[in-house]
Chains A and B, each alone.
Chain A
């Protein structure tokens, strides 16, 4: 079955770089039509799409985070990654990764989420 699991540092300081990993099973990021995305949710608030990477290595980013985001993948090890540079307290949130199988079947499976706190 399809599973995804996020991992991250838990807590980091302002101005540092946040590195997140999405480890998944039950599908491959080399399969045509498969994409993995990152979505975040500040505590008690709504959902914000951050970035997507697809099987052919195309990438999409939310311009609201300007040039702070970098998404990448390791197909051999079934992982996707997200880096966010120059974090501040506004980046404190639960970060989810989610699978899409073509844009029609977008976000059909989600990970459990990982809490990231930015604090000095």
Chain B
């Protein structure tokens, strides 16, 4: 199975600070069809996960544009440009290029 390694595991930030989360894959996530099936999700405390980013860098419907995704191959980054209180929770990357789909272990974003 593809292993996704997220760093850091815990991220402390102040409101308004810009932060980044790394997701590194044990295999290239570039599919033979030319797409890279890498996604980012946020799970707020007590809630279901919600999708933020699809196909590396595409913002999901209703997701604020302070979120952005980048990367290729095996290295990917989620950036939040100006953390807001509603952004606190656990962030997961996920890949769907290789079966079975796998998730990273998560990065907890908390207030400093």
A residues lining the B interface (CB < 8 Å)? 46-49, 60-64, 96, 103-108, 110-113
**Chain B residues near A110 (CB, 8 Å)?**
48-50
How many Å lie between the Cα of A48 and that of B105 in the bound state? 10
Residues of A within 8 A of B88 (CB): none
A64/B100 in contact, CB under 8 A: yes
Distance of A107 Cα from B43 Cα, bound (Å): 13
Of B13-21, B34-42, B76-84, the one with at least 4 CB within 8 A of chain A: B34-42
Residue numbers in A under 8 Å from B41 (CB-CB) = 47, 107
Q: Closest residue of chain B to A37, judged by CB?
A: B101
| CB of B54, distance to nearest CB on chain A (Å) | 6
Q: Are A113 and B48 in touch, CB under 8 angstroms?
A: yes
Known: A47-B92, A103-B37, A103-B96. A112 touches B60 (CB 8 A): no
- How far does the alpha carbon of A61 sit from the alpha carbon of B61 in the complex, in Å? 28
